[in-house]
A = this chain, B = another copy of it.
Amino acid sequence: MHFKFDKSRIHSFESVSSTMDIARQMAEENCPDRTVIVAKHQTCGRGRMKRNWQSDQGGLYMTWVLRPKINISLCFAFTFSSALSIVEALEKIFKIKAEVKWPNDVLVNGHKIAGILTETKIDNNELNYLNIGMGININNIPNSNTFQATSIKDLIQKKVNTSTFIDFLFDKLDYNFQHMNPKKVIQEWKARNCTLGKFVRVKTFASFSEGYAIDIDNSGALLLEKENGEIETVIYGDCFEVSGIKFT
């Protein structure tokens, strides 16, 4: 790895339970902003909604510990920015055209190539740390029952050299996290997304919300136009496109 930034901030492991767990521990022990935990393999990789994240050898599994001095309502921008950085790295290094899916996935032709997890600790309404975990399918062959997934190896039909990709991605993330502009991030996210304009179903706490995904607000929440014309703001949830259902 040949990064522009201080390598001492990168902590690499062969195998960990989950980079999120190590990151939390290091964050609680006051590690500096933009500390990175990287692992080649995870024994208990975490996905969203308490699902597992398949973490075979060949994938890239990492968590960034961030401590930006921002209003907590702007944390979403760091998640969106991570997804956009992955999209850009895929395009730049492998000429793979990817899209972002609300709230925080990266897809290629509708198949998931990367997923993002966040863990936020807030003390008295001030952000203590924001940990962003990313799982990227590179040289592994993902096999998921729940989602259709893909990897760079799947797409290019051969094992790829990861070092240029990782160098580019890490520098990109590091730069973007340091020069965060939430408005610009939303603009860029909108230009690259595959969620808006579709009729979607979002699984929230205990129920579902369904509607036409019309926009993202300033806090990254999804605006759904329901069948009765009401606009619902959905802060987070699992988002599925509903085929064949359209407003009449």
Residues of A whose CB lies within 8 Å of any CB of B are 48, 69, 71-72, 76, 103-104, 117-126, 205-206, 235-236
Kindly list chain B residues whose C-beta atoms are within 8 Å of the C-beta of A71.
235
Kindly list chain B residues whose C-beta atoms are within 8 Å of the C-beta of A117.
123-124
**Chain B residue with Cβ nearest A205:** B69
Kindly list chain B residues whose C-beta atoms are within 8 Å of the C-beta of A123.
117-120
Return 30 A-B CB contacts under 8 Å, by A number: A48-B124, A69-B205, A69-B206, A71-B235, A72-B235, A76-B125, A103-B124, A103-B125, A104-B124, A117-B123, A117-B124, A118-B122, A118-B123, A118-B124, A118-B125, A119-B121, A119-B123, A119-B124, A120-B120, A120-B121, A120-B122, A120-B123, A121-B121, A121-B122, A122-B122, A124-B236, A125-B235, A125-B236, A126-B205, A126-B236
In the complex, how many angstroms separate the beta carbon of A208 from the nearest chain B beta carbon?
15
CA distance A121 to B205 in the complex (A): 16
Kindly list chain B residues whose C-beta atoms are within 8 Å of the C-beta of A205.
69, 126
In the complex, how many angstroms separate the beta carbon of A122 from the nearest chain B beta carbon?
4
In the complex, how many angstroms separate the beta carbon of A78 from the nearest chain B beta carbon?
12
CA distance A104 to B72 in the complex (A): 18
**Chain B residue with Cβ nearest A69:** B205
**Chain B residue with Cβ nearest A116:** B124
CA distance A236 to B236 in the complex (A): 24
CA distance A122 to B103 in the complex (A): 15
A119 engages B122 (CB within 8 Å):
yes
CA distance A236 to B69 in the complex (A): 13
Most chain B beta-carbon contacts within 10 A, residue among A120, A206, A235: A120
CA distance A125 to B120 in the complex (A): 8
Kindly list chain B residues whose C-beta atoms are within 8 Å of the C-beta of A122.
118-122
In the complex, how many angstroms separate the beta carbon of A177 from the nearest chain B beta carbon?
18
**Chain B residue with Cβ nearest A104:** B124
CA distance A120 to B122 in the complex (A): 5
**Chain B residue with Cβ nearest A24:** B28
Kindly list chain B residues whose C-beta atoms are within 8 Å of the C-beta of A121.
119-122
Most chain B beta-carbon contacts within 10 A, residue among A119, A123, A124, A205: A124
Q: List 13 additional A-B contacts (Cβ < 8 Å) besides A69-B206, A122-B122, A126-B236.
A: A69-B205, A76-B125, A104-B124, A117-B123, A117-B124, A118-B122, A118-B125, A119-B122, A120-B123, A121-B121, A121-B122, A125-B236, A126-B205
